[in-house]
Chain A
């Protein structure tokens, strides 16, 4: 069935290190994926998206990788900063279903 899950519910990294947040999805018909960042008491904020015809997409300090063979999505954050502390959600759009399915989220904590 449709499901989006995360390998780790929490992730702690040292300031300045790179962070990698992983996401598994189950529906091979998913054609669009998004990463969101949610700070406490606020709504999710769009970070980056990727369509299924791509393997990699880069933004400012962030990279999303899509491995369709193993149905895996990852978000890489370079040179992690204190402001990166938040919960990160992946979401997938299943072609034809016309709705986004969200994962449970990973809490990223930055250690000074």
Chain B
């Protein structure tokens, strides 16, 4: 079945450590997104990519980095510069940039040790 796979489901980060969250999709979607979700809040956009080798900052990009070397993959790195990384991270994809529903993965929960 087509879909979006995020891994790992749970991730722990030590102080000063960078961690990378994986997101893979086999839906042949051009656009991919990373959102952060905090308890009791909606989703906030971190980064998005419309095509391979291109990406743009969202509303809360500081302390994060991404790459888009392949259409199917859009990994997110949470760097040590992100001082409050504990959250639920959601990856999504869509056929085109706007006016299309996003298809979400099941998320990665990141916690600080």
Contacts and interface: CB of A to CB of B under 8 A. Distances in A.
B99 A51 contact: yes
Interface of B: 4, 6, 35, 40-45, 48, 58, 90, 92, 97-99, 101-107, 109
A10 to B, nearest CB: 11
Interface in A8-50: 9, 31-32, 34, 36, 41-46, 49
B36 to A, nearest CB: 11
A44 B107 CA distance: 9
Interface stretch (A57-65, A69-77, A78-86, A98-106): A98-106
Contacts of A41: 106-107, 109
A93 interface: yes
A66 interface: no
A4 B101 contact: no
Contacts of B41: 104-105
Nearest to A4: B42
Contact of B42 (A42, A51, A89, A99): A89
Q: Which label, helix, strand, loop or mixed, suits the secondary structure of the A interface?
A: strand
B104 A45 contact: yes
B104 A44 contact: yes
Interface residues of A, number: 24
A46 B27 CA distance: 15
Contacts of A102: 35, 42-44
The 7 lowest CB-CB distance pairs between A and B, nearest first, are: A43-B104, A102-B42, A102-B43, A32-B99, A46-B101, A98-B98, A43-B106
Nearest to A104: B42
Given A31-B99, A98-B97, A103 B104 contact: no
